[in-house]
Structure 1
């Protein structure tokens, strides 16, 4: 009898374990590349908005508005616009959960939070005149995101909220896009109260990235291969594929297998990565884009400059009326800028950050994260993010709003 009770108890415990795993698995499934359901699942109000760029791309924005708890009406609050990095989407600002994600921290600090997206990712795969099977759809880099996508979204947000200016927070390529916009269209500096750039990518000549060192000399120069890849999609945005990646991480007892998929992008030192986020991370990154985005960075690695896309001498003359692409006029970026960087960043080396800072005319603050092993992806999914980076962002933005009153 005692042996039977033990067997029954073991079976019961095993059943509970399977139920808990199934519950966790189900919770992961419903939030794969779906920012609206994720935000609702975390207990916040959410809105989905669409905006069309001048060249026809239909972009999706996500908003976490301030709502009067009694009347249910929208409250007028300072606006902050968040833009993610290379091959990412608005979901990355939500991965740390309802307590520690920057989007929610800013909302709890009293801000009207808007999450932007760029052409080609999971939320922005429509164009008024082209479809995703055409090469022309994917013939863009982050330059077009800076001169078309970001201004269209900024104009829409200001028009919708009735505000005259906003705060900006961008990570990695999000910082690149911000710099492109304000150097190419300097009138937009007036609509940004402040800009916080987390590991912004501009100069990359000192990068530690193995991809840049191995593939950069090929894809960063004009040749048959790079020309063929200009109209090609990078990474699958298929939800079933992402579900498979997420479930593999969820079932795997050794997270190193999942982390290794990120090594080409973030580096091999991932000791600060919050490994409990791996299923969510694999479900939402990469979120899609073009090969040309990566090739534009490789061109910067080869040329050691931060400049527009290099089409080769003949096409450069047609595009720019000069044989080489022009450099971005960073001296025109007059928005007050705060920069965060790490000395261990696999993508953006400190030397490249300092080179960028010497060209920006209005740098308010520079923060080097205190953890020596902090890498590029830790700015979003690292342990200790809230205590240092996110809290400093909120404090600096609140300080600006207090000065304005």
Structure 2
């Protein structure tokens, strides 16, 4: 009789656990696809700002300000600007939850946190002269993000806050955009106290990406196909479709179906990916962009160089007054730079990281993550990302601010 009671109690506990798990899953805000709602839901103050670039794109920024609890006024605190990667948005800095997301860690450390966005993602689908249904709207790569989007956002943040400098954190394409801006417009180096680049993409000739190896030779050269794909949107930003993807991940006990959607960009070894974040990740990624962004990387794979977009000899002459596109002068990037990378990164190979580092004149620190199977997506959503990377970023920025005092 005692054993039957134990068995019955065991079954009741299992049932209670399943009910609790189902309740948590139903109550999780996995379908939040707006950064303002997510930040509010996580219990932080938030502001939404817009800025227009010189070529007419209307960009949205999200701010997590330091607010005086008694007066309700915004406090003047050190600035940090975060920029996401390819086909992502400001949401990626929030997906790890209210305790472990980098944006919130920096806020709790006393920083005025700004989350940037680039043209074409879900927050930046307006232009003064073109609709998002027109080819002209999508005729851009990350080069335009570096010479138009990031400068416009940086200028706006400094103008709004009345400050002269900020810290920068960028992942993947966010690092690319930073390098483009500071090489093309070197006076912006004085604006940044420090720059932390997580798996920055510059040179890609040694990438393990199957997409680059299979499609790169086609889309990375000038031909009929690549010319036709200029001015084409890469991913739909339909929120209903994203909610559907997130719910399919939620219902799937073994989330390999969800993980397989990331394989083309993240790689097949996803053992460190925090799979509890998959529903949120699917609800917010990809966030939109142009095919030309990817083709510009493929051009780098084919040419083995980090240079401006290749339009072919005739159009290159019109754009650059030379037959080949000019390389980015990375020696102009004088901001103190810290780089994090992984030897197993599916996108950015260590050899390409070291090639980049040899050209940067002011490398302050280089961190190779200690896990051999750490991959590209793990820099945002990997297990251990807070303990090894995010906490190190906060400590490094705090040390800089203390030295300045």
Q: TM-score when scaled to structure 1?
A: 0.95
Answer yes or no: is the 8 Å Cα contact 2:95–2:281 preserved in 1.
yes
Answer yes or no: is the 8 Å Cα contact 2:316–2:324 preserved in 1.
yes
Instruction: Call closer, same or farther: CA 1:162–1:252 in 2, change over 3 Å.
Output: same
Cα distance in 1 for partners of 2:300, 2:318 equals 21
Answer yes or no: is the 8 Å Cα contact 1:25–1:247 preserved in 2.
no
Moved more, 221-230 or 5-14: 5-14
Q: CA deviation at 1:257?
A: 1.1
Q: CA deviation at 1:32?
A: 2.8
Answer yes or no: is the 8 Å Cα contact 2:230–2:291 preserved in 1.
yes
Gaps (5+ residues) in structure 2? none
Q: For residues 80-99 of structure 1, what are the alpha-carbon distances to aligned partners after superposition, in whole Å with 9 as ceiling and x for unaligned?
A: 00000000000000000011
Answer yes or no: is the 8 Å Cα contact 1:32–1:242 preserved in 2.
no
1:393 aligned residue:
393
Answer yes or no: is the 8 Å Cα contact 2:80–2:112 preserved in 1.
yes
Gaps (5+ residues) in structure 1? none
Matched, 1:221 2:221: yes
2:338 aligned residue:
338
Cα distance in 2 for partners of 1:30, 1:257 equals 17
Answer yes or no: is the 8 Å Cα contact 2:141–2:296 preserved in 1.
yes
Instruction: Call closer, same or farther: CA 1:21–1:318 in 2, change over 3 Å.
Output: same
Question: Which secondary structure does the structure 2 equivalent of 1:216 belong to?
Answer: helix
Q: TM-score when scaled to structure 2?
A: 0.95
Aligned residues: 405
Q: CA deviation at 1:264?
A: 0.4
Moved more, 13-22 or 64-73: 13-22
1:124 aligned residue:
124
Cα distance in 1 for partners of 2:225, 2:277 equals 36
1:174 aligned residue:
174
Q: For residues 90-135 of structure 1, what are the alpha-carbon distances to aligned partners after superposition, in whole Å with 9 as ceiling and x for unaligned?
A: 0000000011100000000000000000000000000111101100
Cα distance in 1 for partners of 2:15, 2:139 equals 52
Answer yes or no: is the 8 Å Cα contact 1:93–1:102 preserved in 2.
yes
Instruction: Call closer, same or farther: CA 1:31–1:65 in 2, change over 3 Å.
Output: farther
Cα distance in 2 for partners of 1:334, 1:65 equals 28
Instruction: Call closer, same or farther: CA 1:6–1:114 in 2, change over 3 Å.
Output: same
Instruction: Call closer, same or farther: CA 1:71–1:211 in 2, change over 3 Å.
Output: same
Cα distance in 2 for partners of 1:217, 1:393 equals 37
Answer yes or no: is the 8 Å Cα contact 2:30–2:280 preserved in 1.
no
Q: For residues 15-46 of structure 1, what are the alpha-carbon distances to aligned partners after superposition, in whole Å with 9 as ceiling and x for unaligned?
A: 97897577545545574321001001111000
Structure 1 stretches of at least 4 aligned residues deviating more than 3 Å after TM superposition? 1-31
RMSD: 2.5
Answer yes or no: is the 8 Å Cα contact 2:102–2:390 preserved in 1.
yes
Cα distance in 1 for partners of 2:371, 2:183 equals 32
